[in-house]
Amino acid sequence: MNRKAQILEIIREVAHKDVNPGADESLFESGILDSFALPDMVSAIEREFKIEVPDADLNPRKFDSVARIEAYLDNRA
């Protein structure tokens, strides 16, 4: 499974619904996720990609879309 597919699977898991957001679609403004889902999504990202996201990075803007999550992971590599 490629990274984008992994991210989409995490979003679906956290949202508890079968969604397919566009790369730049806001996960929070579109209502796919709410701010309460951010910690769950970040925890799933940490597990899936074997990284640790520092508390300072727990900002919805950094994880607001598939593209932003991919960019965040690129910067962590």
* pLDDT digits 0-9 by tens, 9-54: 999 999 999 999 999 999 999 999 998 999 999 999 999 999 999 9
| C-alpha–C-alpha distance, residues 33 and 30, integer Å | 8
Instruction: Name the residue among 70, 65, 72 with its Cα closest to residue 33.
Output: 65
pLDDT of residue 76: 87
- 77 falls in which pLDDT band (50, 70, 90)? confident
CA distance 19 to 76: 26
> What does the pLDDT read at residue 16?
97
Q: Which domains does the chain have, with CATH numbers?
A: 3-76 (1.10.1200.10)
pLDDT computed for residue 6 by the predictor: 98
Q: What is the value of pTM for the model shown?
A: 0.93
